[in-house]
């Protein structure tokens, strides 16, 4: 899986990604291939296009997004115009129907520019995935195309003050109201809530049924009774408009339930295996590469004791360890992506990729800080931003402690069934 070829592409028209992909007969076979040790042409093409998009549209604004904590909806729209938001969405709903390896490559590239914009891509794909998995045909027709085009933004409301890792502890409540529902409750840490048009809300229909009483709903953020709190002043991932959302007697139409009654939590947690967790892993890889790239180049320019610091063995050890971490994380991410794409069991591999890539990202950004010495501490250099952006991947989409729990449970099941572990 090493880059033997990366072409230079200009995104000349909004539909170039789609057009380029249509040209590829290979596309027909995407999703049916076994693990490959080299990217195919379509994957390389998407990587090159998104790299160019990031260079031109994302990286120049990353510092400003971080400093002001203000999202750039115009960049989000451009991602939609370029096809990036619909990489794994079927063409019938406005996407380009490529595969998850391509998507991970795109997430890496965008994230190398800006973590907040990278998060907008992963969150959007996650919400599209929920619509595809749980939505009725009408919901798919109504919501997917505008989201994929970057015209509408959909947030995700699972976490509540008392329900973090323990997602089943959600207290947000829907009660019957004619042919629909009334929603009351509170969500927290809702990324993108500040500028979202819709939100997928996980709420209980029947508390006495426990997890089986929990459903998911699509709620219009402009509905009467929806109140958005102030954005949290975040350490990293700044600019994603992450805040609390309050629901007071919000009318939700019956047709806006997503999936079956009581099927919400199972489907939502199952879906986190896909673009949510995989996206966190790919984002972590992107940030790690950005930090590696910057610090290694710096080490070759910065001179102390008359030599470039890259010539010192202590620095070389760091550079080698960082490179190993990134290589290993990438392989795990692409393997998990391929399993996801091929609809093969992937819970363990996605969790392992998420844990390894996020831990690797922390190690790599920490060493990158060390390589820059005092200058790492200065905001003029992007390393401290990469370092701040890295931490979240160990926390969200299920903390790494929860992922390790899932991995161990998965391994134990194999042992119980007498199956090989690898």
Ligand X SMILES: Cc1cc2nc3c(=O)[nH]c(=O)nc-3n(C[C@H](O)[C@H](O)[C@H](O)COP(=O)(O)OP(=O)(O)OC[C@H]3O[C@@H](n4cnc5c(N)ncnc54)[C@H](O)[C@@H]3O)c2cc1C
Q: Binding to ligand X by residue 396, rule CB under 6 A? A: yes
User: Which residue's structure tokens are 């390389």?
Assistant: 44
In the complex with ligand X, which residue's Cβ is closer, 1 or 405? 405
Task: Of 166, 180, 268, 176, give the one whose Cα is nearest residue 216.
Answer: 268
Task: Of 219, 172, 175, give the one whose Cα is nearest residue 198.
Answer: 219
Query: Pick from 71, 156, 292, 386: which binds ligand X (CB under 6 A)?
Result: 156
In the complex with ligand X, which residue's Cβ is closer, 43 or 159? 159
Query: Pick from 70, 225, 402, 410: which binds ligand X (CB under 6 A)?
Result: 402
In the complex with ligand X, which residue's Cβ is closer, 83 or 239? 239
Minimum CB distance to ligand X, residue 398 (Å): 6
How far apart, in whole angstroms, are the C-alpha atoms of residue 42 and residue 33?
13
Q: Is-contact 198 218, C-beta < 8 A?
A: yes
Spatial neighbors of 348 by CB under 8 A, at least 6 apart, are 406, 407, 410, 411
Q: Binding to ligand X by residue 328, rule CB under 6 A? A: no
Query: Pick from 125, 191, 215, 358: which binds ligand X (CB under 6 A)?
Result: 191
Query: Pick from 242, 287, 347, 351: which binds ligand X (CB under 6 A)?
Result: 242
Strands 257-258 and 214-220: antiparallel
In the complex with ligand X, which residue's Cβ is closer, 237 or 333? 237
Q: How many CB atoms lie within 10 A of CB 186?
A: 19
H or E stretch at 308? strand 307-308
Minimum CB distance to ligand X, residue 269 (Å): 11
Q: Binding to ligand X by residue 164, rule CB under 6 A? A: yes
Q: What is the 3-state secondary structure (H, E, C) of 61-123?
A: HHHHHHHHCCCCHHHHHHHHHCCHHHCCCCHHHCCCCCCHHHHHHHHHHHHHHCHHHHHHHHH
Q: Identify the burial level of 39 via C-beta atoms within 10 angstroms of its C-beta, where 0-12 means exposed, 13-18 middle and 19 or more buried.
A: buried
Q: How many CB atoms lie within 10 A of CB 340?
A: 25
Minimum CB distance to ligand X, residue 385 (Å): 14
Among 154-162, 271-279, 330-338, 361-369, the segment contacting ligand X (CB under 6 A): 154-162
In the complex with ligand X, which residue's Cβ is closer, 99 or 384? 384
Cβ-closest position to ligand X: 164
Q: Binding to ligand X by residue 216, rule CB under 6 A? A: no
Query: Pick from 165, 316, 317, 327: which binds ligand X (CB under 6 A)?
Result: 165
Torsion angles phi and psi, residue 298, rounded to 5:
-60, -45
Q: Binding to ligand X by residue 399, rule CB under 6 A? A: yes
Subset of residues 354 to 393 that bind ligand X, contact rule: CB under 6 A: 392
In the complex with ligand X, which residue's Cβ is closer, 184 or 311? 184
* Residues within the interface to ligand X (CB under 6 A): 156-159, 164-165, 189-191, 234, 237, 242, 392, 395-396, 399, 401-402, 405
């Amino acid at each position: 899986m090493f880059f033997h070829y990366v072409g230079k592409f200009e995104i000349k028209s909004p539909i170039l990604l789609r057009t380029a992909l249509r040209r590829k007969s290979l596309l027909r076979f995407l999703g049916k291939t076994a693990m490959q040790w080299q990217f195919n042409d379509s994957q390389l093409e998407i990587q090159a296009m998104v790299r160019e998009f990031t260079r031109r549209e994302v990286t120049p604004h990353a510092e400003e997004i971080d400093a002001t904590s203000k999202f750039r909806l115009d960049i989000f729209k451009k991602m939609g115009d370029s096809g990036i938001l619909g990489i794994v969405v079927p063409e019938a709903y406005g996407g380009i129907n490529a595969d998850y390896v391509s998507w991970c490559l795109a997430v890496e590239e965008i994230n190398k520019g800006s973590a907040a914009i990278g998060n907008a891509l992963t969150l959007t794909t996650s919400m599209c995935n929920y619509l595809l998995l749980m939505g009725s045909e009408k919901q798919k027709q109504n919501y997917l195309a505008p989201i994929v085009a970057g015209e509408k933004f959909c947030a995700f409301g699972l976490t509540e003050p008392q329900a973090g890792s323990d997602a089943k502890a959600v207290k947000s409540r829907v009660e019957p109201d004619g042919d629909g529902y009334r929603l009351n409750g509170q969500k927290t840490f809702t990324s993108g809530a500040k500028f979202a048009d819709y939100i997928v809300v996980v709420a209980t229909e029947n508390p006495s049924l426990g997890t089986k009483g929990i459903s998911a709903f699509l709620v219009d953020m402009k509905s009467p009774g929806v109140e958005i709190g102030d954005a949290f002043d975040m350490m990293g991932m700044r600019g994603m408009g992450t805040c609390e959302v309050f629901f007071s007697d919000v009318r939700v139409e019956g047709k806006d339930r997503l999936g079956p009654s009581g099927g919400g939590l199972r489907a939502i947690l199952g879906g986190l295996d896909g673009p949510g967790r995989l996206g966190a892993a790919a984002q972590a890889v992107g940030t790690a590469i950005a930090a590696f790239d910057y610090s290694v180049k710096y080490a070759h320019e910065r001179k102390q004791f008359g030599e470039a610091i890259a010539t010192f063995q202590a620095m070389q050890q760091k550079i080698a360890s960082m490179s190993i971490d990134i290589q290993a994380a990438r392989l795990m991410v692409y393997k998990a992506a391929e399993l996801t794409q091929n609809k093969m069991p992937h819970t363990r591999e996605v969790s392992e990729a998420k844990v390894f890539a996020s831990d690797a990202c922390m190690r790599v950004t920490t060493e990158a800080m060390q390589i820059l010495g005092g200058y790492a501490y200065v905001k003029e250099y992007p390393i401290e931003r990469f370092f701040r952006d890295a931490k979240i991947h160990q926390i969200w989409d299920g903390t790494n402690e929860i992922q390790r729990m899932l991995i161990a449970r998965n391994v134990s099941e194999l042992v119980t069934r007498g199956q090989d572990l690898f």
